């Protein structure tokens, strides 16, 4: 068995053959233990009694056997009944369902994660469709807003400006020796909720939970990080319970140098780590990605992950509409980093289909707060430049205000085949907008992707009604089923969880030096290949959420093959990529323990 599969949640590494090292919360010294041929783990004598029960990576709760309870002094600390992990999952699921609010359920699951990681991931993995909306969007947004009040136990790292000179010392903690993947945020643009400051830590924690539940990443190798550079959220600054640095958000050169120090320290500590940038504001997200994407194995999920899932869903939608990629015209509400990231990947798909880049770029209509992005506008970011519409091309348009061309103007004049929302503007896809899309398209593609659900541009039920049941719908957050042809029809959740766990798994399994746009295109195509609509246009665009692990494997293999084709992998052959992916995957299971010094 591979090391990744051996340690059910222990922080470990090979040392001198069969010996391992672990680090447990509460002490920084390394403790050795051994693995026997029968997969029994020999734990050091120091891990005894209550101390063992308080280690979330080693705790088994009521699943400790009688022999283990005797060996580790657990009798009396646990009720006498010994149960297996399946019964524990059943008990925890029942308790989860008895709470009255989703925020209470969120807090319950976070507490379970900090108490018994193996049980937490068994529960999540077996009930991903029910628990995904709690662990991640939309409930994680409420969790971030309430983070200071919910905070109980440390998880991950808070790296703050006041302690910037200690970054290397903080990262050096042996608890994190085995780190392979880091998700980092500065908390400025949390979902569609804006600046949450230190509360933004809920996002890396949630993302990494999905890395494990969907992508099989060993939780002992996953590290969430919050770069605390202050907050401009006045509610946080005035809140006496706020746990972050009470300071206006640092910007400019001081911000950039802090990020640079973090990346340098991270690269020194873990030269081959995979770094995911998460929920950075528009003015930082793209430029940080561009600065570090070729020096660190990194990607920005809001830009590239969102682009890949949108591209995968749209490629799948072609099976329904019959309109080929090179004939698509795409309106995107939200011209920031996410919107431009979607446009960039879709433009690459158009080029793959035979268009030249200039013609492809003209098929995108990006609408921001100042209307359609047009040549000559002020305050245009570099990443928006490729998608500015020439004014000459709009000369014949009939608009209410030529100086601010609205989304509805775009739909009436450009007649887009697809409408994508990443604006975080609740209700921005009005009845007039959706009906105009339906007027110009037999099967309009409408993707309100903003999350949480409270920020969605329209509800699927409204889109279904306004389009007279003809729209192909993909939402960013979970919504109840709609009625279609007299029966319930599940709404496709075009969520990044279809993409990033597989991308991370593929990159880590193949030791990729960096993550390229080609790898994200491979991920999008792998997702589209799994579309139920390929076989039957009446079915969904995307696989069910219950298939996320299968999707992650397919995406990881595709990503690994693309990385190999680009010559940026190591320690893997073309024929060995699938094996590398599958053997890298961790599963939540208890292994038997033996105490060091005990007789066999």
pLDDT by position in tens, the chain (length 600): 333 333 333 333 222 222 233 333 332 232 334 445 457 889 988 899 999 999 999 999 999 999 999 999 999 999 999 999 999 999 999 999 999 999 999 999 999 999 999 999 999 999 999 999 999 999 999 999 999 999 999 999 999 999 999 999 999 999 999 999 999 999 999 998 999 999 999 999 999 999 999 999 999 999 999 999 999 999 999 999 999 999 999 999 999 999 999 999 999 999 999 999 999 998 999 999 999 999 999 999 999 999 999 999 999 999 899 999 999 999 999 999 999 999 999 999 999 999 999 999 999 999 999 999 999 998 899 999 999 999 999 999 999 888 899 999 999 999 999 999 999 999 999 999 999 999 999 999 999 999 888 999 999 999 999 999 999 999 998 999 999 988 999 999 999 999 999 999 999 999 999 999 999 999 999 999 999 999 999 999 999 999 999 999 999 999 999 999 999 998 899 999 999 999 999 999 999 999 987 655
Packing angle of the helix pair 306-321, 337-352 (nearest 10 deg): 50
One domain for residues 110 and 180: yes
pTM of the predicted model as reported, rounded to 2 decimal places: 0.91
Ramachandran angles phi, psi of 54, nearest 5°: -95, 0
One domain for residues 65 and 173: no
First to last CA, the chain: 22
- pLDDT for 598 equals 64
**Residues 246, 237 contacting (CB under 8 angstroms):** yes
**Residues 149, 190 contacting (CB under 8 angstroms):** no
Three-state DSSP at 22 gives strand
Packing angle of the helix pair 85-97, 102-113 (nearest 10 deg): 150
One domain for residues 92 and 239: yes
One domain for residues 58 and 153: no
One domain for residues 436 and 447: yes
Ramachandran angles phi, psi of 227, nearest 5°: -85, 105
One domain for residues 313 and 408: yes
- Single residue among 461, 479, 494 that ends a domain in this structure: 494
- Single residue among 45, 60, 83 that ends a domain in this structure: 83
One domain for residues 435 and 336: yes
- Single residue among 66, 83, 100 that ends a domain in this structure: 83
Q: Tell whether 410 is covered by a domain.
A: yes
Q: Tell whether 563 is covered by a domain.
A: no
Q: Tell whether 289 is covered by a domain.
A: no
One domain for residues 121 and 79: no
Q: What angle do CA 586, 134, 276 make, to 5 degrees?
A: 55
Three-state DSSP at 433 gives helix
In whole angstroms, give the CA distance from residue 110 to residue 155.
10
One domain for residues 71 and 167: no
Q: Tell whether 548 is covered by a domain.
A: no
One domain for residues 74 and 190: no
| Sheet arrangement for strand 593-595 | 14-15, 19-22, 31-35, 41-43, 593-595
In this structure, the dihedral spanned by the alpha carbons of residues 150, 155, 156 and 157, taken in order and rounded to 10 degrees, is 70
- pLDDT for 2 equals 35
User: So which residues are the catalytic ones?
Assistant: 136, 207
Tell me the residue range of the domain where 325 lies: 304-494
One domain for residues 74 and 90: no
Q: How many domains is the chain partitioned into structurally?
A: 3
- Write b or e for each residue in 548-577: b if 16 or more Cβ atoms lie within 10 A of its Cβ, otherwise e: bbebbbbbbbbbbbbbbeeebbeebeeeeb
- pLDDT for 106 equals 98
**Residues 587, 548 contacting (CB under 8 angstroms):** no
- pLDDT for 86 equals 98
Q: What is the CATH number of the domain that holds 487?
A: 3.40.50.720
Q: Tell whether 585 is covered by a domain.
A: no
- pLDDT for 20 equals 30
One domain for residues 218 and 333: no
- pLDDT for 38 equals 57
- pLDDT for 475 equals 96
- pLDDT for 379 equals 86
- Please list, in sequence order, all residues whose beta carbon lies within 8 angstroms of the beta carbon of residue 476, skipping any fewer than 6 positions away: 137, 447, 448, 449, 450, 451, 456, 493, 494, 495
Q: What is the CATH number of the domain that holds 238?
A: 3.40.50.10380
Q: Tell whether 568 is covered by a domain.
A: no
Q: Tell whether 177 is covered by a domain.
A: yes
- pLDDT for 324 equals 96
- pLDDT for 30 equals 28
Is the link from the previous residue into 489 a cis peptide, with omega within 30 of 0? Answer: no
**Residues 462, 427 contacting (CB under 8 angstroms):** no
Q: Tell whether 183 is covered by a domain.
A: yes
């Amino acid at each position: 068995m591979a090391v990744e599969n051996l340690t059910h949640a222990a922080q470990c590494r090979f040392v001198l053959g069969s010996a391992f090292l672990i680090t447990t919360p509460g002490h920084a010294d390394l403790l050795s233990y051994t693995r026997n041929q029968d997969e029994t783990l020999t734990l050091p004598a120091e891990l005894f009694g209550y101390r063992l029960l308080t280690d979330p990576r080693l705790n088994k709760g009521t699943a400790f056997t009688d022999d283990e309870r005797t060996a580790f002094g657990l009798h009396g600390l646990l009720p006498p009944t010994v149960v297996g992990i399946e019964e524990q999952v059943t008990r925890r699921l029942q308790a989860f369902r008895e709470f009255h609010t989703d925020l209470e359920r969120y807090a319950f699951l976070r507490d379970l994660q900090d108490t018994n990681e193996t049980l937490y991931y068994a529960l999540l993995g077996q009930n991903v469709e029910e628990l995904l909306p709690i662990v991640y969007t939309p409930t994680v947004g409420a969790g971030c807003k309430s983070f200071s009040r919910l905070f109980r136990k440390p998880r991950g790292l808070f790296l703050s400006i006041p302690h910037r000179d200690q970054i290397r010392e903080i990262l050096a903690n042996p608890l994190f020796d085995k780190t392979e993947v880091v998700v980092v945020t500065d908390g400025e643009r949390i979902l569609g909720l804006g600046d949450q400051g230190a509360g933004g830590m809920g996002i890396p924690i949630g993302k990494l939970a999905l890395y494990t539940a969907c992508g099989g990443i060993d939780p002992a190798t996953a590290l969430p990080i919050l770069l605390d550079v202050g907050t401009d959220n006045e509610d946080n600054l005035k809140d006496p319970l706020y746990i972050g640095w009470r300071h206006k958000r640092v910007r400019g050169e001081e911000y950039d140098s802090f990020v640079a120090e973090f990346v340098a320290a991270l690269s020194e500590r873990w030269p081959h780590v995979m770094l995911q940038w998460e929920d950075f504001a528009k003015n930082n997200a793209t430029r940080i990605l561009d600065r570090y994407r070729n020096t660190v194995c990194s990607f920005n999920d809001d830009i590239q992950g969102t682009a890949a899932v949108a591209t995968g869903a749209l490629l799948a939608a072609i099976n329904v509409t019959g309109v080929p990629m090179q004939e698509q015209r795409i309106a995107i509400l939200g011209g920031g980093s996410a919107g431009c990231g979607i446009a960039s990947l879709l433009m690459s798909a158009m080029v793959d289909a035979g268009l030249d880049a200039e013609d492809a770029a003209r098929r995108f209509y990006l609408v921001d707060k100042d209307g359609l992005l047009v040549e000559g506008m002020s305050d245009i970011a570099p990443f928006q430049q490729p998608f500015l519409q020439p004014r000459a091309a709009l000369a014949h348009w009939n608009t209410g205000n030529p100086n601010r061309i609205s989304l509805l103007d775009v739909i009436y004049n450009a007649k887009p085949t697809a409408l994508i929302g990443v604006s975080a503007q609740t209700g921005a896809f009005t009845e007039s907008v959706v009906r105009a899309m339906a007027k110009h398209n037999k099967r309009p593609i409408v993707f309100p992707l903003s999350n949480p659900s409270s920020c969605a541009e329209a509800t699927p039920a409204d889109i279904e009604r306004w389009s007279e049941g003809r729209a192909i719908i993909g939402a960013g957050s979970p919504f109840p089923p709609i009625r279609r042809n007299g029966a319930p029809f599940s709404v496709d959740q075009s969520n990044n969880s279809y993409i990033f766990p597989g991308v991370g798994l593929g990159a880590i399994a193949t030791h990729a030096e960096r993550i390229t746009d080609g790898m994200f295109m491979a991920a999008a195509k792998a997702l589209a290949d799994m579309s139920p609509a390929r076989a039957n246009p009446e079915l969904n665009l995307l696989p069910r959420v219950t298939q996320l692990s299968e999707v992650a494997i397919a995406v990881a293999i595709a990503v690994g093959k693309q990385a190999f084709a680009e010559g940026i992998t190591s320690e893997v052959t073309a024929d060995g990529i699938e094996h590398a992916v599958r053997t890298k995957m961790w599963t939540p299971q208890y292994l038997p323990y033996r105490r060091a010094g005990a007789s066999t």
